Amino acid sequence: MVQLNGWIEFQRMNKFITLRDAYGSTQLFISDNRTDLIEIIKDLPYESVICVVGMVNMRPEGQINKKMKTGDIEILVDSIKVLNKASEHLPFSIRQFNKAKEVTQMKYRYLALRYPEIQKNLRIRSKLLMKMREYLINECDFVDVETPTLFKNTPGGAQEFIVPTRHPGKFYSLVQSPQQFKQLLMVGGIDRYFQIARCYRDESARHDRQPEFTQLDIEMSFVDQEGIIDLIENLLKYSWPETITTPFKRLTYEDAMKLYGTDQPDLRIPYEIQYLTKFVNMATLEKDMKLTNSKDCEVCALVFPNKCKYLTRSVREEFNDIKNKYFPTVKLFQIKTLDNSWKLQLEKLFSTKIAEDIIRTLNLNIGDVLFLTVGPKLNSQKLLGKFRIEFTNVLENNNLKIRSPGYNFLWLINFPLFEVNESQLLESMHHPFTQPHPKDMKYLETEPEKVRGLHYDLILNGSEIGGGSIRIHDTNLQKQIFKMLNINEKQLSHMLEALSSGAPPHGGIALGLDRLLCILCNAEGIRNVIAFPKTIEGRDLMSEAPVPIPTEVQELYHIKIIDERSNI
Amino acid sequence: MVQLNGWIEFQRMNKFITLRDAYGSTQLFISDNRTDLIEIIKDLPYESVICVVGMVNMRPEGQINKKMKTGDIEILVDSIKVLNKASEHLPFSIRQFNKAKEVTQMKYRYLALRYPEIQKNLRIRSKLLMKMREYLINECDFVDVETPTLFKNTPGGAQEFIVPTRHPGKFYSLVQSPQQFKQLLMVGGIDRYFQIARCYRDESARHDRQPEFTQLDIEMSFVDQEGIIDLIENLLKYSWPETITTPFKRLTYEDAMKLYGTDQPDLRIPYEIQYLTKFVNMATLEKDMKLTNSKDCEVCALVFPNKCKYLTRSVREEFNDIKNKYFPTVKLFQIKTLDNSWKLQLEKLFSTKIAEDIIRTLNLNIGDVLFLTVGPKLNSQKLLGKFRIEFTNVLENNNLKIRSPGYNFLWLINFPLFEVNESQLLESMHHPFTQPHPKDMKYLETEPEKVRGLHYDLILNGSEIGGGSIRIHDTNLQKQIFKMLNINEKQLSHMLEALSSGAPPHGGIALGLDRLLCILCNAEGIRNVIAFPKTIEGRDLMSEAPVPIPTEVQELYHIKIIDERSNI
C-alpha cells in the first residue's frame, strides 16, 4: 500500500484520476464496484487536495503512457480523504496546452506555481545555488557574509529606493549592490567573501529587470584578474548541470565592438562585421554623401550569405526605422544580391574598381544579404551589431537554425575605464572603484579616455550575466578618480579611510542569477525563474502592492504625500 | 620557501614581526645581516599589508609560544614587498587586551572585523548556515526559494518600513517575514520550502534587535506539529558544531508560566516557583493586605537555598524598583532566613500554623533567600520569573556557577491562540494564520481565551530562537479568525482566495539566526555575530546612514519632508 497526497488535476468517468504533487503526476484508478469512492470523487472540483491510499499496479498493456514519467503504473485506490476542497471556479486550470495569460498568472501566482515548468525552474534554481555554495565554501574556503541592505545612498550609479526612518528627514537607501561592504570586508581581513545577495534598483521599466534581484557576489584579497576568471570558470564548471568547457573564450572590448558591434556579443551567431574603408576614398564619399562629421567615418558591411529571400519589404522597413530612430547619422544600404542592379548600385556609390574590391573582399555571391553602412564608426558598429541579432531572429523565426546549440560563455576584457557623457564630463564605465590598467596609468591625467580598466564581463549566449574588476586599494589614486568623476569625496570618506587602514589588493565579481537562470532554464523571461515576480511597472498583481498608506504612518516617518493630481 | 600575505600586527627590535592573516598569526624573523629588510620594516606602520617570502623554521627551544597556534615555528624572511602602507594613526590597534569601545568599533567596522573573535564568529556563522542548507537540500529535498522583500503592508504585527515608489502616494512595505509567501508556496505545490530570509522590522530600540535581521524560514505541506519538531531537531543535530541530544524537552505554556514565570524559561537554572495558596485563607489575607482585585490572587514563592549573603541592600532595592515599576499590584516580601525575625514575619503575615506549613513545604533552612509574593497570579509569576533570572545573574557575578553548562534546547507548546489587549479586544498571540488546537475548536465562539493554538516556540538557554505553527488551510475558518481579530479581510483577500484554490494542510517555523549564533558563539551581543551592525537607534556609524536626501529625490517619490523643528 502507498499513500499519496496531491492535487486532482483531471479525472474522467469517475474512474481515472490524474493526481499531481510536487514531483509529478500519477494516475489513480477507481474500481467500478467502489461506489463509496465514486461518490467522493464525482463532484469534487479539480485542484482539490486529497490523500489517497492504494496499491501500485502495472497498467494494462494498451494503457501505458510513454509521455508520462509514471506512465507504466497506476494506483488502484483503496481510500480517499479530501484534505481541502477547491473552489468550483478557479481563474485557470493547470494544463500545459492552455496556459493562462501572463498577467493572470501573476495575479494568481499561487496557481501558476503549480505549472510543471515553474516547479522545475525553481528547483533548478535551488540546486544551482546550492552547488555554487558547495564549491565556494567546501572546496575554496569562502565565507558567506550577510551585509546590510539598509544603507546610505551611493553617489553615481542607479537610482536607489529610499526608506524613511523615525529620525525626521533621514533616509536609508536600499543597496544597489554590496559593493562597498565587500570591499570593506577585504579591508577587514575576510579575504574570501561571497554572498547570494538581494539588490535593489529603481530603474526604468525593462523586460528583464525587477526592482529587487539576486546576485552571486564575490570578493577576494591578494588576487588578480586571472585569479577571478579562474575561480568563476571552475565554479560554473562545478555547479552547471551540463558539461561546459573551460577556459572560456576571451575578447577585448575593442574587438567585440569591431566584430560584433556590442559588448555583449552572441558568438553562437557566425556573422561578423567587415571593414571596407581602406578601399574607399573617404574624402570623395563624404562629399558625395554630404556627411557632416567625417572625423571617424567608416564603411562597414555585414553579409548574410544566401539569405536574400528573408529580407522582405517589412523587414527592410523595420530595419530602416531602427536606423532612423537610434542612429540617424549613419547611411544605410540594405542590398540583396539577386539581379544585377546591386552591382550597379555599388558601382554608383563608389566606383567600378572599388565595387569589385568590395565584392571580392566580402565574397559576395548571388542570393546574399548585404547591410552596408557609411558613417561614424561607433554608431555604424552598433547598428550592424543590432542587425546581426535582429536578422538572425528573422531567420530563426523562419525555422532556420543559425545559433549554434549549447552554452556559449565569453569573457569581455579591457573595457575603457571612463566614458564621456552628453555634457562632455567623464563617467565611470562601471564604477568609481575600478583599478585602471597598470599599462595605461600614464594616460590618466592627459588622455583619460584611453585608459582601460581592470574590468571583466562574463557573457553567456549574448547576455551579460556578470561583471567585476580589480579594485583600487590606494587612497590617493581613489581620491584622484573621485575628483576626475566630480564625486564629492566626503560622501565616501569611510571608503577612503578604510583604504588607508591597510587595505589589501583585492578584486571581485557579481553574477546576475535571474538572467543566468533564465538562460539555463531556457525560460521565456526572468519572471519564469522567480517565484513572485513583479510587472515591469514594479507592481505585485497578487497583493496590489504598492498601495496607499495611512496618515498616521506618514506622520510616523515625517513625510507628506504630494499628489500632483490635487494640484490641477 | 613559502609566501604569506598579511597585516603587520606587531614588531619588536625590527626583528620579530607578528603577521596576521585571515587564518591566524605567524611570527616572522629577520636576520641581523638583512639590513635591506630592516630598512623596509623599521618605519612601516602597524596594520600595513605586506607580502613575505621565506623559509619555515622551527623556533629555538626557549622561544616556543604554546598559546599561539603557529607558536612552534617562525618564518625566516627572504623578501618583503609592501602591498599597502597603513596610515600612521589608526583609530585603534587590533590587540585583544585593549579593545576599542563598541561605538568606535562600529564607526571603524572594517578595523574591528580584524579582531580574531569577529573573524571566528563570521566563519562559524557561514559554516552553520551551510550545514543547515546541506541538511535541508541534500538530505531532505527542500527547495530554497527567494521571496520578495518589497511587498504590501501586513495588517497587525510589527511596524513595517515603507518604501515610496514613483507611483504617487503608493508604497511598498519591507516584509517583516516571508509568512504570506511561504504559505502561498504551499498552495503553489512547492511542498518543502526554506529560505535564509532577510526580514525587516521598525520596532523600538532593544539591545538584541536590528532593523534588518535574518531567519531560517521553513514551511512544509502535509505535515503536523510532530513533523516540524522532528525536522528541526534533526536539522540542529546535523548542523550544530557540538553534539546535542534529541529529542528536546517540552513544556506547555501553562507549565512554563507556572514553574518559571516566563514563556522563555532557562532550564539551566534549577530554581522553580512554588505555590502556597492552598495553605492560606485568601479571604483573610486579601482583607489584611487590602488587595483590590482578588479574583485570581495567589501566594507564590521562589527560594534560593543558602544564598542569603548575596541579597544585599542594593539588590533588594533594585528588585523593589522592578516590582514597583512593572508589577505594582503584587505584594512582595524579600526574606533572608538568617536570624529568627523571618519566622515572626511569616507568622505575622499568615498564622503560626500556616507559617509552619509554608516553611515545611518550601524546605526553608537557615541562610536561604525567599521571595514571597501575594497578588494576581500572572503578574506574580512574571515577577518571580524575572527575579529567577536576575538573582541568578547576581550569583554568577559573584563567581557562583548556577547555570548548568551546554546548550539547553526546549520546545514550548500549547500557547493560547489569543490574548486580550488593553482595550479588551482579542489579538493573535502569534499571528492570525495559526491553526486553533482541534480539541479546543468547541470554545472558539464562546470562550476564545481558552483556545490553544498549534504553535510551538524553540527556546535555547532561556532565549526564544524560533517559533512556528500549523497554519489554517480552511478559508471559512480563516475568515472567522480574521473577523474575531477585527482584521479587514479585504486586505488579505489574496490569502483567502489562495486557501480556496486547493491549499494543502501545512505548517512551518522560523529560526532567528542572529540570536541563535549569538548563543552558539557565546558572544556578548548579536552585534558580534553580524558583519555590519547598526546601533539601537538604527544608525550605521560608519557611513552615518540614515542621511538627508536631496529635494529632487523627494520629488521623484512624490513626498515632502515634514520637519517638526521648523514648526517651532
Instruction: Write the pLDDT tens digit of every residue in A380-428.
Output: 999 999 999 999 999 999 999 999 999 999 999 999 999 998 888 999 9
Contacts 24+ apart (CB under 8 A), A535-539: A535/A103, A535/A106, A536/A205, A536/A206, A536/A207, A536/A209, A537/A205, A537/B167, A538/A202, A538/A205, A538/A211, A538/B150, A538/B165, A538/B166, A538/B167
Q: Which residue of A has its CA nearest to B129?
A: A144
Determine whether the interchain pair B474/A500 forms a contact, defined as Cβ–Cβ distance below 8 Å. no
Q: Average pLDDT of A336-354?
A: 87
Q: Mutate which of B495, B517, B547, B566 to test chain A, going by most A C-beta atoms within 10 A?
A: B547
**Helices A313-326 and A377-397 meet at what angle, rounded to 10?**
150
Which residues in chain A touch residue B146, judged by CB atoms under 8 angstroms apart?
198, 214, 530-531
Instruction: Write the pLDDT tens digit of every residue in B178-197.
Output: 999 999 999 999 999 999 99
Quick check: A330 pLDDT over 80?
yes
Helices and strands of chain B, counted as H and E runs: 16, 23
Q: Average pLDDT of B76-95?
A: 93
The phi, psi pair for B232, rounded to 5°, reads -70, -40
Collect all residues with Cβ–Cβ distance below 8 Å to B451 and sequence separation of at least 6.
Answer: B416, B417, B418, B436, B437, B440, B441, B443, B444
Determine whether the interchain pair B212/A148 forms a contact, defined as Cβ–Cβ distance below 8 Å. yes
Q: Average pLDDT of A228-246?
A: 97
pTM of the shown model? 0.94
Determine whether the interchain pair A562/B168 forms a contact, defined as Cβ–Cβ distance below 8 Å. yes
Residue type at position B280: V
Taking alpha carbons only, the member of A170, A240, A543 closest to residue B546 is A170
Question: What distance in Å separates residue A399's CA from the closest CA in chain B?
Answer: 36
Q: What is the pLDDT of residue B166?
A: 94
Instruction: Write the pLDDT tens digit of every residue in A40-58.
Output: 999 999 999 999 999 999 8
Quick check: A567 pLDDT over 60?
no
* Confidence class for position B568, pLDDT limits 50, 70, 90: very low
Residue type at position A515: R
Q: What is the pLDDT of residue A22?
A: 86
Cα torsion for B369, B370, B371, B373, to the nearest 10°? Answer: -170
Determine whether the interchain pair B181/A150 forms a contact, defined as Cβ–Cβ distance below 8 Å. no
Q: What is the pLDDT of residue B99?
A: 84
Q: Average pLDDT of A545-567?
A: 86
Query: What are residue A457's DSSP bridge partners?
Result: A412, A467
Q: Whole-angstrom Cα distance, residue B459 to residue B465?
A: 6
Collapsing DSSP to helix, strand or coil, A445 comes out as: coil
Question: What distance in Å separates residue A193's CA from the closest CA in chain B?
Answer: 10
Q: Which residues of A495-506 are buried (b: 16+ CB within 10 A; e: fewer)?
A: bbbbbbbbbbbb
Q: Mutate which of B83, B126, B166 to test chain A, going by most A C-beta atoms within 10 A?
A: B126
CB contact at 8 A, B142 and B194: yes
Residue A465 is given by DSSP the state: E
* Confidence class for position B233, pLDDT limits 50, 70, 90: very high
Which residues in chain B touch residue A170, judged by CB atoms under 8 angstroms apart?
546-548
Per the structure block, which three cell numbers stand in for B207? 539591545
Q: Average pLDDT of A347-368?
A: 91
Quick check: B282 pLDDT over 80?
no
Instruction: Write the pLDDT tens digit of every residue in B101-122.
Output: 889 999 999 999 999 999 999 9
Question: Model ipTM?
Answer: 0.94
CB contact at 8 A, A384 and A371: yes
Q: What is the pLDDT of residue A205?
A: 67
Which residues in chain B touch residue A501, judged by CB atoms under 8 angstroms apart?
47, 86-87, 90, 108, 110-111
Q: Which residue of B has its CA nearest to A45?
A: B502
Q: Whole-angstrom Cα distance, residue B538 to residue A557?
A: 14
Determine whether the interchain pair B5/A504 forms a contact, defined as Cβ–Cβ distance below 8 Å. yes
Question: What distance in Å separates residue A110's CA from the closest CA in chain B?
Answer: 4
- Average pLDDT over chain B, rounded to an integer: 93
Q: Average pLDDT of B427-441?
A: 95
The phi, psi pair for A346, rounded to 5°, reads -65, -40
Q: Which residue has the cell 559573584?
A: B398
Residue type at position A158: A
CB contact at 8 A, B113 and A185: yes
Determine whether the interchain pair B22/A84 forms a contact, defined as Cβ–Cβ distance below 8 Å. no
Quick check: B293 pLDDT over 70?
no
Nearest to B563 among A151, A538, A558 (CB): A558
Which residues in chain A touch residue B114, judged by CB atoms under 8 angstroms apart?
188-189
Determine whether the interchain pair B547/A150 forms a contact, defined as Cβ–Cβ distance below 8 Å. no
Determine whether the interchain pair B90/A501 forms a contact, defined as Cβ–Cβ distance below 8 Å. yes
Which residues in chain B touch residue A549, judged by CB atoms under 8 angstroms apart?
153, 162, 171
CB contact at 8 A, B501 and B183: no
Determine whether the interchain pair A546/B170 forms a contact, defined as Cβ–Cβ distance below 8 Å. yes
Of A14-23, A92-101, A486-495, B472-481, where does the model show the most confidence?
B472-481
Instruction: Write the pLDDT tens digit of every residue in A487-541.
Output: 999 999 999 999 999 999 999 999 999 999 999 999 989 999 999 999 999 999 9
Q: Whole-angstrom Cα distance, residue B235 to residue B230?
A: 8
Q: What is the pLDDT of residue A292?
A: 65
Q: What is the pLDDT of residue A568?
A: 41
Which residues in chain A touch residue B119, judged by CB atoms under 8 angstroms apart?
189-190
Radius of gyration over alpha carbons of chain B, in Å? 30
Instruction: Write the pLDDT tens digit of every residue in B505-532.
Output: 999 999 999 999 999 999 989 999 999 9
Taking alpha carbons only, the member of A104, A41, A71, A467 closest to residue A253 is A467
Q: What is the pLDDT of residue B367?
A: 94
Question: What distance in Å separates residue A310's CA from the closest CA in chain B?
Answer: 43
Q: What is the pLDDT of residue A564?
A: 64
The phi, psi pair for B125, rounded to 5°, reads -60, -50
* Confidence class for position B484, pLDDT limits 50, 70, 90: very high
CB contact at 8 A, B469 and B524: no
Q: Whole-angstrom Cα distance, residue A11 to residue A13?
A: 7
Quick check: A286 pLDDT over 90?
no
CB contact at 8 A, B469 and B433: yes
Q: What is the pLDDT of residue A283?
A: 75
Which residues in chain B touch residue A167, judged by CB atoms under 8 angstroms apart?
537-538, 546
Q: Which residue of A has its CA nearest to B187?
A: A110
CB contact at 8 A, A516 and A509: no
As a residue count, chain A comes to 568
Quick check: B283 pLDDT over 80?
no
Q: Whole-angstrom Cα distance, residue B404 to residue B426?
A: 39
Least confident of A146-160, A162-176, A200-214, B9-23: A200-214
Of A90-99, A302-311, B291-300, where does the model show the most confidence?
A302-311
Q: Whole-angstrom Cα distance, residue A228 to residue B476?
A: 56
Q: Whole-angstrom Cα distance, residue B482 to residue B499?
A: 14
Q: Which residue of A has its CA nearest to B222?
A: A5
Q: Do the bridges between strand A24-29 and strand A73-84 make them parallel or antiparallel, or are there none, so unpaired?
A: parallel
